[in-house]
Structure 1
Amino acid sequence: MNITEGAELPPLTVTVTRENLVRYAGASLDFNPIHWNERFAREVGLPDVIAHGMLTMALAGRIVTDWLDDPARLVSYYTRFTRPVVVPDDGVGATVEFTAKVAKVLDDGTAQVAITAKFDGKAVLGKATAVVRS
């Protein structure tokens, strides 16, 4: 693990399926129909069922925790949701690509990591930033 400014973390690609959404809904108790009911999702203006925002955030956080020798070194994590991850019922799902790099090493022994999450070539998270202890 290289905690130097500009260092790139190993990329992470995750496929989100409808099964993942059902499992996440059960674990989080978030049964909002936009995550499982196509008709409802379309009625409220979405193109189809979408992944839970917090699931997308958790998957993005994995790029950092997988990279750290000890996930407890993750001090904080922040993001904004900018675009949904649409999950089709096609047996394939939605592919989300995550990249990250060390944006800044601070004097207090921490570093800021900038995370990018893309679905269909477009960002789905904004200002995703993790702070890690070196």
Structure 2
Amino acid sequence: MAEIAAGTELPPLELRVRRVDLVRYAGASLDFNPIHWNERVADEVGLPGVIAHGMLTMALAGRIVTGWLADPGALVEYSARFIRPVVVPNDDEGALVEVTGKIRDVREDGTARIDITAKFEGKAVLGKAIAIVRLPE
């Protein structure tokens, strides 16, 4: 594991979200809202296209922390706000989500706060994305 100090950046992630991922997530979460698979419905409600589930986007962004931790069970808390959708085109490439993370502070109780940034088309899709992790001893 890399140095654990305030200001340390986690290795960045580039993740692709494809329509097949939306289908799989819908099946796992039982969220079959048609804005996640039907162009017509997405258009009717004013969306720019079919969008990824917010919780899927959040989960994918969280991989920057769980992949960095030696023990993914050391993730104590994770929260974020959904501020912009990830529009998923109907092609083989899908949508590119770029994720970065930086240790904001290391606490005396053996935990650290990590601020996460997730972007689609250069714009943030999650706001106040924060992970609290238990550090190895």
TM-score bucket (shorter structure): over 0.9
Equivalent in the alignment of 1:31: 32
Equivalent in the alignment of 2:113: 112
* Residues in 2 aligned to 1:123 and 1:47: alpha-carbon distance in whole angstroms: 16
* Residues in 2 aligned to 1:111 and 1:25: alpha-carbon distance in whole angstroms: 32
Structure 2: any 5+ residue segments left out of the alignment? none
Structure 1: any 5+ residue segments left out of the alignment? none
- How far did 1:11 drift? 0.5
- How far did 1:3 drift? 1.6
Equivalent in the alignment of 1:44: 45
Under a length normalisation based on structure 2, what TM-score does the superposition of the two structures give?
0.96
Equivalent in the alignment of 1:19: 20
Equivalent in the alignment of 1:100: 101
Give structure 1 regions of 4+ aligned residues with deviation exceeding 4 angstroms: none
- How far did 1:90 drift? 2.1
Secondary structure of 2:132's match?
A: strand
Secondary structure of 1:75's match?
A: strand
Provide the aligned length of Structure 1 versus Structure 2.
Answer: 134
Under a length normalisation based on structure 1, what TM-score does the superposition of the two structures give?
0.98
Question: Aligned-residue CA RMSD in angstroms?
Answer: 0.6
Q: Report the AA paired with residue 83 of structure 1.
A: R
- How far did 1:91 drift? 2.0
Equivalent in the alignment of 1:125: 126
* Residues in 2 aligned to 1:73 and 1:3: alpha-carbon distance in whole angstroms: 14
2:76 maps to 1:75: yes
